[in-house]
Amino acid sequence: MVLLAGRNAMRAPARSARATIGLVIGVTLLVTFAVALGIMQHVTESTLSGVDGMTPAMLEEQRSFFEQLNAVVSVIVGFSAVIAAVGVVNALALGVLQRRRELGLLRVLGLTGVQVRRMIVTEAVQMVVAAVVTGLVLGTFYGWLGGQTLLGVLGSVVTPVLPPLTIAIVVVGALVLAVVATVAPVRRAMRVPPTEALAVD
């Protein structure tokens, strides 16, 4: 099932690209801001910790400020990710409906409805995982580049900081999205008898 799903995705690269490009952009934006703010927080805390008279309470207050700022920015940028998610859902659903004839042929050749569903979900998960990984890599690079540009004047090379909560939300949300986006269209396609699906132009 995994190999078949992968070959299906590679066989129609334009369709796969249309389904995932919005998600790549959304994840990239979200991770870019999260990494840039993480770098700023790390550098600021490192700098302030060496200042005389800086108490742990003041450092905690500074950390709380950056956490609130990151939450606000994530919500604002998250709207782009939501729009991208809607685009992914529509593209995946449309792709399944457009492949009714192919799915009917697979069922005629002996695949059960469960196997076809598993193949479609696996294909969607593969595409979404590829989009998320690409977005994480690009977002980390752009966030590091922005942090280095802003804070590199301090005379040292900053290192990327990936907030674990942001990464977890992106990964889990993307996997849930891939499954949810294919459930309804696959169920609708499976209701069509294989012979009728093969008659679709």
**35: its two tokens:** 């990494």
Q: What pTM does this model have? A: 0.76
Q: Are 192 and 104 in contact (CB under 8 A)?
A: yes
Residue type, 182: T
CA 183, CA 186: separation in Å to the nearest integer?
5
* pLDDT at residue 5 tops 50: no
- Judge whether 59 and 48 are in contact, CB under 8 Å: yes
pLDDT beyond 80 at 138: yes
Task: Give the pLDDT score at 141.
Answer: 93
Residue 6: predicted pLDDT: 47
157 or 59, which is more confident? 59
**48: which 2 tokens?**
């302030």
Torsion sign over Cα 85, 87, 89, 95? negative
**Range picked from 41-50, 106-115, 159-168 for highest mean pLDDT:** 159-168
pLDDT at 64 over 60: yes
The stretch 137-142 carries a mean pLDDT of: 92
Amino acid 178: pLDDT: 74
Highest mean pLDDT among 50-64, 85-99, 136-150, 160-174: 136-150
pLDDT for the residue 187:
76
pLDDT at 3 over 60: no
Closest Cα to residue 42, out of 144, 172, 178? 144
Instruction: Write the CB contacts of 123 (distance below 8 Å, at least 6 apart in sequence).
Output: 5, 6, 8, 9
Burial of 157 (0-12, 13-18, 19+ CB in 10 A): exposed
Residue 12 has pLDDT above 80, yes or no: no
Q: Is the pLDDT of residue 10 over 60?
A: no
Distance, in Å, from the CA atom of 15 to the CA atom of 124, rounded to the nearest integer, reads: 12
Give residue-wise pLDDT tens across range 99-134: 777 777 777 777 777 777 787 778 778 888 888 899
| pLDDT score of 142 | 92
Backbone angles phi, psi at 112, to 5 degrees: -80, 165
Residue for token pair 């990239």: 28
The pLDDT tens digits for 26-35 are 888 888 888 8
